């Protein structure tokens, strides 16, 4: 597997305008499923899940609650937090692994449901890297001058693509959505300092969701036998996540001539507490500088970084002037980061 450090240097964003983080929101289902609850359904234990992943509980969408419902609620909350009218939105970029339908995009329906028509609408699929990909797309659209106000949304209902007999996978995920409103500003120091996106599709077989037998990889030894469910080689993904997370953080800091200590907080995709702790220890950062909420929500895929951002902003822990590093990695395989001055 190629490592991010093998790849050529990435473009540095040189904004002539800035971008303001105007508001955030989130939505998670009310239903809490603890590790103890899961242990009644599959052969696992609270102790195993907590020690290997750091997860204590996750939210699971009840029947009838869709990815569109969660995305709409998160977007509406972010619009309210930003103090704008829905019609102020020029664009909505929605990251999801599970668009409700292939046609139309989920984004188009969310735009309509929050009352933001005729804003542009675009679904992005980069699996767990989705929100940071959507953030980067939105950043680029604003810096190009094409749009001024964008809703960036990450939403997933991962519980719908679980094989609930596969204990090494189903314990990891939860459902939810998060959103952020970005607005062009006159302050060029605000917004993205550096962004990065990458993929290695040759490694797709370590995390995939097959529909039919012809989609299985030649070596289908990890296939659980259940189509339309997530198949995962946990050890390979773990190795990829540890090295890629570290690589992306190093590259962003090096590109901007910064030290880890200069960061106010790292907002990372929540894949496993051990992966996040390992990165934090290597960087020599205190606990409060790498935000963690996987204990409460599990891995919410495209929603995780957005949910973290909302929790930090609503708690007053992301303030003007702060330097925040968004970083994520996931199926594809994909990875992305965005170093951001709030």
Q: Which residues are catalytic?
A: 128, 269, 299
Is 326 in contact with 290 (CB distance < 8 Å)? no
Please state the closest distance from residue 95 (CB atom) to ligand ACO, in A.
13
Contact mark string toward ligand ACO, 13..52, x via CB under 6 A = -------------------------------x---xx--x
Does residue 53 interact with ligand ACO by CB under 6 A?
Answer: yes
Residue of closest CB approach to ligand ACO: 234
Does residue 167 interact with ligand ACO by CB under 6 A?
Answer: yes
Whether cis (ω within 30° of 0) applies to the bond prior to 118 is: yes
Does residue 55 interact with ligand ACO by CB under 6 A?
Answer: no
DSSP state string for 13-77: P--SSEEEEEEEEEE--S-EEEHHHHHTTSS--HHHHHHHH---EEE-PPTT--HHHHHHHHHHH
Does residue 185 interact with ligand ACO by CB under 6 A?
Answer: no
Does residue 94 interact with ligand ACO by CB under 6 A?
Answer: no
Whole-angstrom distance, CA of residue 144 vs CA of residue 184: 10
Based on CB atoms, which residue is closest to ligand ACO, 258 or 292?
Answer: 292
Whole-angstrom distance, CA of residue 33 vs CA of residue 58: 5
Please state the closest distance from residue 142 (CB atom) to ligand ACO, in A.
27
Q: Which of 168, 169, 173 is nearest to 60 (CA)?
A: 173
**DSSP-derived secondary structure letter, 7:** S
Please state the closest distance from residue 273 (CB atom) to ligand ACO, in A.
9
Q: Contacts with ligand ACO in 264-303 (CB under 6 A)?
A: 269, 271-272, 299
- Helix pair 106-113, 67-82: axis angle to 10 deg: 50
Based on CB atoms, which residue is closest to ligand ACO, 114 or 128?
Answer: 128
Give the residue, chosen from 76, 172, 179, 253, that forms a contact with ligand ACO under the rule CB under 6 A. Answer: 172
Based on CB atoms, which residue is closest to ligand ACO, 269 or 280?
Answer: 269
Please state the closest distance from residue 282 (CB atom) to ligand ACO, in A.
17
Please state the closest distance from residue 133 (CB atom) to ligand ACO, in A.
14
Does residue 60 interact with ligand ACO by CB under 6 A?
Answer: no
Does residue 246 interact with ligand ACO by CB under 6 A?
Answer: no
Based on CB atoms, which residue is closest to ligand ACO, 81 or 248?
Answer: 248
Based on CB atoms, which residue is closest to ligand ACO, 33 or 181?
Answer: 33
Length of the chain equals 342
Give the residue, chosen from 241, 303, 312, 325, that forms a contact with ligand ACO under the rule CB under 6 A. Answer: 241
Q: What is the CA radius of gyration of the chain?
A: 19
Sign, Cα dihedral of 335, 233, 239, 37: positive
Whole-angstrom distance, CA of residue 306 vs CA of residue 328: 11
Whole-angstrom distance, CA of residue 237 vs CA of residue 19: 33
Whole-angstrom distance, CA of residue 178 vs CA of residue 285: 26
Please state the closest distance from residue 241 (CB atom) to ligand ACO, in A.
5
Q: Which of 202, 269, 275, 203 is nearest to 239 (CA)?
A: 275
Please state the closest distance from residue 225 (CB atom) to ligand ACO, in A.
16
Does residue 234 interact with ligand ACO by CB under 6 A?
Answer: yes
**DSSP-derived secondary structure letter, 301:** G
Give the residue, chosen from 128, 222, 252, 324, that forms a contact with ligand ACO under the rule CB under 6 A. Answer: 128
Does residue 238 interact with ligand ACO by CB under 6 A?
Answer: yes
CA trace torsion 255, 261, 266, 271 (10° rounding)? 100
Binding site for ligand ACO (CB under 6 A): 44, 48-49, 52-53, 128, 167-168, 171-172, 207, 232, 234-235, 237-238, 241, 269, 271-272, 299, 329-330
């Amino acid at each position: 597997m190629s490592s991010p450090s093998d790849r050529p240097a990435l473009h540095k964003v040189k904004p002539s305008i800035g971008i303001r983080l105007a508001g955030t929101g989130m939505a998670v289902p009310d239903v809490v499923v603890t590790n103890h609850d899961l242990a009644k359904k599959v052969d696992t234990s609270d102790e195993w899940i907590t020690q290997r992943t750091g997860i204590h509980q996750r939210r699971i969408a009840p029947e009838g609650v869709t990815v569109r419902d969660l995305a709409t609620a998160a977007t509406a909350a972010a619009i309210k937090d930003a103090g704008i009218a829905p019609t102020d939105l020029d664009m909505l970029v929605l990251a999801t692994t599970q668009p409700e339908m292939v046609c139309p995009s989920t984004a188009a329906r969310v735009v309509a449901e929050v009352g933001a028509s005729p804003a542009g609408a675009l679904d992005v699929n980069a699996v767990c890297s989705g929100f940071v990909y959507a953030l980067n797309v939105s950043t680029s659209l604003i810096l190009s001058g094409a749009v001024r106000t964008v809703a960036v949304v990450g939403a997933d209902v991962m519980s719908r693509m679980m094989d609930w007999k596969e204990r090494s996978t189903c314990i990891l995920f939860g459902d939810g959505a998060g959103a952020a409103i970005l607005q062009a500003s006159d302050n060029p120091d605000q917004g993205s300092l550096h962004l990065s996106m990458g993929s290695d599709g040759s490694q797709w077989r370590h995390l995939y969701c097959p529909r039919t037998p012809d989609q299985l990889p030649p070596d289908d030894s990890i296939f659980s036998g259940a189509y339309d469910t997530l198949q995962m080689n946990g050890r390979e993904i773990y190795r990829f996540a540890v090295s890629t997370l570290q690589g992306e953080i190093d590259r962003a800091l090096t590109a901007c001539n910064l030290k880890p200590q200069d960061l106010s907080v790292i907002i990372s995709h929540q894949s496993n507490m051990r992966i996040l702790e390992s990165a934090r220890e290597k960087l020599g950062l205190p606990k409060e500088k790498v935000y963690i909420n996987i204990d409460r929500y599990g891995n919410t895929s495209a929603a995780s970084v957005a949910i973290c951002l909302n929790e930090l902003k609503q708690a007053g822990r992301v303030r003007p002037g702060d330097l925040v590093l968004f970083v994520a990695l996931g199926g594809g395989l994909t990875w992305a980061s965005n170093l951001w001055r709030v």
